[in-house]
Structure 1
Amino acid sequence: MVGPEDIAHYRAHGWWLSPPVLSDDVLDTLAFGIERYRLGERDRHLAVDLGGDGETEVVAQLDYLSLQINEFLDALLSSPVGEMAAALAETESVRIFHDQVVIKPPFDPNRSAKVGWHSDRAYWSSCSSQSMITAWIPLEDVPEEKGPLAVWDASHTWPETETLHSFGDQDLQTIEARFADKGHTPQVLTLPMTRGQVSFHHCRLVHGGYPNKSSEDRIAYAIHMQDDVNHYVPPAAASGRTGHINDLLCRKTADNKPDYADPETFPQLWPV
């Protein structure tokens, strides 16, 4: 499903958009799992209480559904997502690091529902790898009006993206100007998608999104994945982060550090 030209595109641009590869059955299963979660059902419980389910934010984030709802992990394991991610990241295996459903509400003139420009790597300062990868799966068609994923083309090669933890920052232009002042003018690309497509992006790629101008929710599922070499490292002070919530969920290594290879918290998606 992923050929040499696709890998070359991913290397150069930091993102890649698949053809339709996910069946209606897989996407319907994910939608059913979301409904179960929002109704309060759980097949398993997290090791710690995260203090809320993310529904109160303007752009809602429902975290760790693969650890709580059977439909999510089952759907991922039966899909080609893990294999495709491994090919693009050029790694022998991939494990989940974190997953979340992101719900962008319909247009409301009284509130902004953008996703601020950020990089995933900025939130993963406790990870040793610089090659982690995210798959982004919309549950329905996402034309321009619904606020699809937007990326800064090739920004994964720029310095300072690893400290851009500004998912909730609505002032997109100020962030763009900050990089332009340093000689890196963002080339913003929006990625409209049809149901069944998957987009993949590098952990250092700057991405976000504009408001959903339609009359219905835009629902997407993000799966953040580790390559085979990733392990815990103490976050540098300059990162502005103290770690990741994963550190509280997973088992510890012999030297009492979070074990990012814990199969219960980080299920392997490829090879299955």
Structure 2
Amino acid sequence: MEATLDKETLLNEIDTYYTVSPEAIAFYRQNGYVKLKHVLSPEVLAYYGDIITDLVIRLNTLIKPMEERTTYERAFLQIMNLWREDARAKEFVFSKRLAKIAADLMGVEGVRLYHDQALYKEPSGGITPWHADQFYWPLASPNTVTVWIPLQDTPMEMGPLAFAEGSQHVEIGRDLEISDDSEKILADTLQNQNFTVHDTPFELGEVSYHAGWTFHRAGPNVSDRPRKVMTMIYMDKDQIVMQPRNKYQVADHATWLSSVPIGSKPQDELNPILFSY
């Protein structure tokens, strides 16, 4: 679908600030996530969605049949750092509108990009097991947040993101990688500890923000359309890189943080500041 607005209008929208209500900020800090409606227009999502989809198709290397994939591979096609592949994708990833929301929710002076990633759950794609993202990140502070941007309306049959409310406050399951085990162990633990799970559709233009230690999952995509989602991971601009605690953090330190010295801030080249007061 062609964007009906001119490019200048689209660029203006993604860099125009969105006011987050005090209620939304309080909800995020208590529950570890928030869903916000009407953050992006259908025109912006159509224009940048087409660009992101083309990049996913071009850069995807996971081509084996669904039945031969692991649980993780069945969950989604995952393409990262699109901003370094395409100047138009960079416009979207560097959106000041989206970055300022992240800073306001966390209550920090500014945010850097950790990395972006497109997450495309194909028709017949399986569940995304329960997990917390920050298990993978060698970052000292919990001031991290991911914006999850569906590029289409996302009814329940497409597997929208679900959140365990308040789970960022508890030290459970923080040593679990995303897997069949994490799905079962965390589902049981969250149920036993009476966590409320918020699992609802996303309207077009609605996005969610979730903290790095908030447990989340997604159901399978039983529709006949791909569930197309773009995400950006933000961190406090004054985030400190810590000693990696597992093999995934070792890899992330090299890949997304240029192996900067432990105890230092990320560098501007690979982890630019996207918004600052």
Normalising by structure 1, we get a TM-score of 0.82
CA contact (8 A) 2:164 2:190 kept: no
> What is the CA–CA distance in structure 1 between the aligned matches of 2:227 and 2:158, rounded to whole Å?
6
> What is the CA–CA distance in structure 1 between the aligned matches of 2:112 and 2:118, rounded to whole Å?
18
Change (3 A) 1:39 1:228: closer
Partner of residue 67, structure 1: 84
Tell which deviates more after alignment, 150-159 or 53-62.
Answer: 53-62
> What is the CA–CA distance in structure 2 between the aligned matches of 1:99 and 1:76, rounded to whole Å?
7
Pick from 96, 103, 109 the counterpart of residue 120 of structure 2: 103
Partner of residue 119, structure 1: 132
Q: Which has the higher helix share?
A: 2
The yes-or-no answer on 1:152 pairing with 2:170 is no
The yes-or-no answer on 1:130 pairing with 2:137 is no
Partner of residue 85, structure 1: 102
Q: Please give the per-residue CA displacement for 1:178-205, whole angstroms capped at 9, x wherever unaligned.
A: 455xx52332211311111110011110
CA contact (8 A) 1:252 1:258 kept: no
Tell which deviates more after alignment, 89-98 or 62-71.
Answer: 62-71
Query: Displacement of 1:146 after TM fit?
Result: 1.1
1:28-39 → structure 2 map (5 Å cutoff): 28-38=46-56
> What is the CA–CA distance in structure 2 between the aligned matches of 1:118 and 1:97, rounded to whole Å?
18
Aligned pair count? 250
The yes-or-no answer on 1:169 pairing with 2:192 is no
CA contact (8 A) 2:173 2:186 kept: no
Query: Displacement of 1:39 after TM fit?
Result: 5.1
Change (3 A) 1:99 1:227: same
CA contact (8 A) 2:131 2:183 kept: no
The yes-or-no answer on 1:14 pairing with 2:32 is yes
Q: CA RMSD in A?
A: 2.5
Question: Secondary structure of the residue that 1:162 maps to in structure 2?
Answer: coil
Q: Which amino acid aligns with 2:187?
A: E
Q: Please give the per-residue CA displacement for 1:109-155, whole angstroms capped at 9, x wherever unaligned.
A: xxx6100100011111x111112111000000001111100111111
> What is the CA–CA distance in structure 1 between the aligned matches of 2:62 and 2:263, rounded to whole Å?
24
> What is the CA–CA distance in structure 2 between the aligned matches of 1:26 and 1:169, rounded to whole Å?
36
Normalising by structure 2, we get a TM-score of 0.80
Query: Displacement of 1:269 after TM fit?
Result: 1.7
Tell which deviates more after alignment, 146-155 or 73-82.
Answer: 73-82
Partner of residue 243, structure 1: 250
Question: Secondary structure of the residue that 1:232 maps to in structure 2?
Answer: coil
Partner of residue 199, structure 1: 208
Change (3 A) 1:70 1:235: same
Question: Secondary structure of the residue that 2:204 maps to in structure 1?
Answer: coil
CA contact (8 A) 1:29 1:71 kept: no
Question: Secondary structure of the residue that 2:24 maps to in structure 1?
Answer: helix
Stretches of structure 2 lacking an aligned partner (at least 5 in a row): 1-18, 65-72
Stretches of structure 1 lacking an aligned partner (at least 5 in a row): 42-51
Question: Secondary structure of the residue that 2:180 maps to in structure 1?
Answer: coil
Partner of residue 231, structure 1: 240
Q: Which amino acid aligns with 1:117?
A: W
Q: Percent of counterpart pairs with the same letter?
A: 26
Partner of residue 42, structure 2: 24
CA contact (8 A) 1:30 1:72 kept: yes
CA contact (8 A) 2:28 2:105 kept: yes
Query: Displacement of 1:26 after TM fit?
Result: 2.5
> What is the CA–CA distance in structure 1 between the aligned matches of 2:32 and 2:255, rounded to whole Å?
30
CA contact (8 A) 2:131 2:216 kept: yes
Query: Displacement of 1:75 after TM fit?
Result: 1.6
Query: Displacement of 1:257 after TM fit?
Result: 4.5
> What is the CA–CA distance in structure 2 between the aligned matches of 1:171 and 1:130, rounded to whole Å?
21
